[in-house]
Amino acid sequence: MDPKDSILIKERILKSVSKAWTLFLDLIFPIECLGCGREGVWLCESCRKTLRMNRRQYCLDCRKGSRSGRFCRHCRPGHHLDGLWIVGDYEQKLLAELIKKFKYDFIRDLGEPLGGFLLRFLRGRLFDSLKEGGGTEILRTFQETLIIPVPLHRRRFNWRGFNQAEVLARTVGGYFRLEMEVASLERTRYRRPQAKLGGRRRRENVRNCFAWRGEDLGGRNVILIDDVVTTGATLDEAARVLKENGAGEVWGLVAAKG
């Protein structure tokens, strides 16, 4: 073989080996923007701006539009939760990707951009309520609101290593300097994942799965934070337990409806 050819082959091998090595490293540490692939950040500034916030909220039960996010008059009696803010749209690929990576690939750092998404939404709500006056009770007395992340059962917590709702709640609560309670609402029952169950079964599946270990809430309003909502059964059951223990209004704040 011509020595020139042999050098060329060697170079090619080296190149492909180093390419494979880089790919391997990227698999382990692939910190790049989920939107555009830019290296070094999970979500770059320009992609962050493309995350769409829901302008309109709706009643989770009947889908009728609701300006405030409160359950409509017709559906309200069936709920312990007063209302729900669904910040984004799961149909938006980038948001769905962020949530999936955060939740199922255990990338805790994604809690920062996702938590930021929630807090910008809430800030907008507060501005609107100040500007227009009135608004909902919970926004009028916002500074006294208690932030509670929807807890995981210990088994699931140990498996994932963190509670994704708590990571989001810390970002939101930290920004607004709201008091946060993470230990008092406990998930006492380990139930199979809800994804496979229909609405009514979900309600049965979550019944009595929370216990409150703290003091009486003395009428304080609560914002329950979670990453996604599906039927709202889990949030509603948490709200039931909180109200049994003295909570005032209980609202949910989630990144999207799954």
Interface residues with Zn ion (CB under 5 A) are 33, 35-36, 38, 44, 47, 59, 61-62, 72, 75
Cβ at position 29, least distance to Zn ion in Å: 17
Cβ at position 59, least distance to Zn ion in Å: 3
Contact residues for 122 (Cβ-Cβ < 8 A; gap 6+): 85, 172, 176, 253
User: Quick check: helix, strand or coil at residue 56?
Assistant: coil
Contact 51, 59 (CB under 8 A): no
Cβ at position 60, least distance to Zn ion in Å: 8
Distance CA 56, CA 128 (A): 13
**C-alpha distances in angstroms, 172 versus 43, 69, 121, 169?**
18, 18, 10, 5
Q: Which is nearer to Zn ion, 42 or 210 (CB)?
A: 42
Q: Which is nearer to Zn ion, 23 or 62 (CB)?
A: 62
Distance CA 180, CA 154 (A): 19
Q: Which is nearer to Zn ion, 44 or 148 (CB)?
A: 44
Q: Which is nearer to Zn ion, 166 or 236 (CB)?
A: 236
User: Quick check: helix, strand or coil at residue 100?
Assistant: helix
Cβ at position 121, least distance to Zn ion in Å: 20
